[in-house]
Structure 1
Amino acid sequence: MDRNPSPPCSDAEEEEGDAVGNTVYSKHWLFSVLTRLIEVIAPAEPDPAASPEGARTELDEEMENDICKVWDMSMDEDVALFLQEFNAPDIFMGVFAKSKCPRLTEICVGILGNMACFQDICMSISKDENLGQVLLQRLCDSDSPTLLETSRLLLTCLSQPEVANIWVERIRENPSVYDCVCFIMSSSTNVDLLVKVGEVVDKLFDLDEELMLNWIKNGTCQSVGPSVDDSPEELPDFKIVPCILEAAKQVRSDNPEGLDVYMHILQLLTTVDEGIQAIVQAPDGGKETWSLLYDLVCQELCQPDDPPIIVQEQKTVLASILSVLSAMFASQTEQEYTRMRKNMPLIGSLIRILQYMEGCGKRALDNSKESKQEETERTEINEEDFHLKILKDICCELLSNMLQELTKENTLEGLHQGHLNEQTCSCAFQNLLPLYFASVESFLEVLREADQTLADNLEKRFPSLKVHT
């Protein structure tokens, strides 16, 4: 069904006190649905619609409509509290243990996800060790909608500081979570699921470096893993980096936010030496990672036909990508894919990003002049955009390292391809000086061999360089 039915309201004629909290929803109706739910998983008499194992595999239409209404209603705090008082989580535990109906499992996890949005209920759900373990087991489910709702529930809990550590510790002690998450990232084609799982991994790595290190080092499959029809009998030894790359490839075209998430996961990996080594010491030496990120920067993001303001929209994903490229370039200068003759377009893209940031800065300044009244708020935000500053710093660091590696032949090729000219070099120098003076000076010496006139013109624009030559 495309959308859940509208939740029911209590009739005016119904006896006073039937409403749930301050809502118009009926307590009696909710009781009846939950009671019927208990009967579904523990019928008094054998059900002719049940499977040979004795459990229903499909919901009848009326029950599905009603439980979906409860799902919608559970977004209201009064309803969520009422469900908590009625021990709905325990009922759902019974569903997870006995139900063979994927749709029913999905809905029950979804209701718990809505209930967990409220702090006290989230605390109660999180402290229930049995429920916590059962929910983590749902990550090995073969049903994508159930996996999506389970991931949403986990992300909700991990986003609440009061209970986040409970879940981090629980996941750290449960090795099957790693296998299930890697299996999803490496094999799923469901973009919504991949994005949500990515958000869970991103949050976990951000919260706990020890867990991230464990997952980086984890290369052996210890659990049976998800049970799906087309899965191999034995799952491969999952490595975290190839799984992240596979998921990123799936989401890159359809979901920019999802791509941002997976690029940030890669960036988090590079904050520890073990993460960088996991990337560059892969069987291909990191070539697949470099190729994907290179292609994103040079072919998809911040392109010549984009308006400069695009850098505002793409600043976080660009910062993550360039941070990973910078870490790889610094650690793997001997790899074939980092040879400068293959990376002149990347230098051109880095300079274009800096040019677009300058355009955004000028636009922000013009806007601040036009509206003096909002100067104390808007102008400060525009002038000191935290994420843009991070992007500029990362971009300059990578550009300076690459410029130092250029030979005369590389530079001639860059001039011929249009990646290097007086305008682009001026932009690069303007942003790199004075912090990266040595890099600029080194590049200028090579440039003088390739194009004396251009080098002289740049020296005139930047007198500090001429003094030192």
Structure 2
Amino acid sequence: MDRNPSPPPPSRDEDGDEAAGGDCIGSTVYSKHWLFGVLSGLIQIVNPENPKSSSDDEEQQTELDEEMENEICRVWDMSMDEDVALFLQEFNAPDIFMGVLAKSKCPRLREICVGILGNMACFQEICVSISSDKNLGQVLLHCLYDSDPPTLLETSRLLLTCLSQTEVASVWVERIREQPAIYDSICFIMSSSTNVDLLVKVGEVVDKLFDLDEKLMLEWVRNGAVQPLDQPQEDSEEQPVFRIVPCVLEAAKQVR
């Protein structure tokens, strides 16, 4: 299963006394206090104490402060460690990330939050917990409709991780079945994206889905194969009919 690559070495900037004491997360030298601060900052971004509605503030919501980006990226790297992932789970970090995904308009922040969840899901206990949260599951699947390629890549990576876990694979297959629009989104990505990493990962998700559920495979292959008789030919440009096989072939051309 995939994980976010190249975690940084443990920070030397942490206070020595804290690192040696109860502030450490598990057997790591990472600071609980520091992590609390970063997560609290995330909450503040999503639920500011003094919200404003000006257009300038709305534009700023799509940008991530450089210092905050550096800190949350460090959490992303740290989350590869099981002790850190379990601590994030204990601190209800998935709920915080769900709030970010539901409210934030910042593509980079959304990408990082999904990426952290993807790392956490690499550990079975946490994967089961994340998968059992129906609301979080719906929010994550909704990320497949995102227009940001990095966010789509991290979402696909997380989905592939969950689909690869026997205990929860059927839960995700059923959720995907319940949202027919996911089919259109996947077809659109494969037919229009030029991001090779994204195309490969989405292809792996589709391959895993088909391996897990033959009925779903047949439905998706047949979907869009026949234009409705009551739909005039000239209307077809307004509502493009996606067919997954040509979309897969188009993705293969880009990857090659």
**TM bucket by the smaller chain?**
0.7 to 0.9
Contact 2:7–2:80 at 8 Å: present in 1 too? no
Distance 1:148 1:91 in 2: 21
What's the counterpart of residue 147 of structure 2? 142
Q: 1:16 to 1:7 in 2, by over 3 A?
A: closer
What's the counterpart of residue 170 of structure 1? 175
Distance 1:20 1:12 in 2: 14
2:97 maps to 1:92: yes
2:15 maps to 1:11: yes
Q: Output one character per residue of 1:415-454: Cα deviation in whole Å (capped at 9) or x when no partner.
A: xxxxxxxxxxxxxxxxxxxxxxxxxxxxxxxxxxxxxxxx
The 3-state SS of whatever aligns with 2:168 is helix
What's the counterpart of residue 45 of structure 1? 50
Contact 1:4–1:65 at 8 Å: present in 2 too? no
**Superposition deviation, residue 172 in structure 1:** 1.1
Q: 1:246 to 1:176 in 2, by over 3 A?
A: same
Q: Output one character per residue of 1:186-215: Cα deviation in whole Å (capped at 9) or x when no partner.
A: 000000000000000000001110110111
Runs of 5+ unmatched residues, structure 1? 221-232, 253-469
The structure number with the bigger radius of gyration is 1
Q: 1:58 to 1:47 in 2, by over 3 A?
A: farther
Q: Output one character per residue of 1:375-403: Cα deviation in whole Å (capped at 9) or x when no partner.
A: xxxxxxxxxxxxxxxxxxxxxxxxxxxxx
2:254 maps to 1:250: yes
2:240 to 236, 242, 254: 236
2:72 maps to 1:67: yes
Runs of 5+ unmatched residues, structure 2? 1-5, 226-236
Contact 1:99–1:105 at 8 Å: present in 2 too? yes
The 3-state SS of whatever aligns with 2:138 is helix
Contact 1:56–1:100 at 8 Å: present in 2 too? yes
Distance 1:188 1:6 in 2: 34
Q: Output one character per residue of 1:85-127: Cα deviation in whole Å (capped at 9) or x when no partner.
A: 1111110111011101000000000000000000010001111
What's the counterpart of residue 29 of structure 2? 24
Distance 2:70 2:8 in 1: 6
Give RMSD over aligned pairs.
2.1
Distance 2:56 2:167 in 1: 42
Distance 1:92 1:84 in 2: 11
Which deviates further from its counterpart, 47-56 or 138-147? 47-56
Q: Output one character per residue of 1:145-198: Cα deviation in whole Å (capped at 9) or x when no partner.
A: 000000000000011111111111111111011010000000000000000000
Distance 1:55 1:44 in 2: 16
Which deviates further from its counterpart, 101-110 or 84-93? 84-93
Amino acid across the alignment from 1:244: V
2:202 to 192, 197, 201: 197
The 3-state SS of whatever aligns with 2:17 is coil
Within-5 A mapping of 1:260-409: none
**Superposition deviation, residue 50 in structure 1:** 7.2
What's the counterpart of residue 127 of structure 2? 122
Distance 1:207 1:250 in 2: 26
Contact 1:55–1:98 at 8 Å: present in 2 too? no
Instruction: Give the total of aligned pairs.
Output: 238
Distance 2:187 2:22 in 1: 49
Distance 1:180 1:13 in 2: 51
Distance 1:136 1:25 in 2: 31
Amino acid across the alignment from 2:106: C
TM-score under structure 2 normalisation?
Answer: 0.87
Contact 2:10–2:29 at 8 Å: present in 1 too? no
**Superposition deviation, residue 46 in structure 1:** 3.6
Distance 1:25 1:137 in 2: 32
**Superposition deviation, residue 216 in structure 1:** 1.3
2:98 maps to 1:110: no
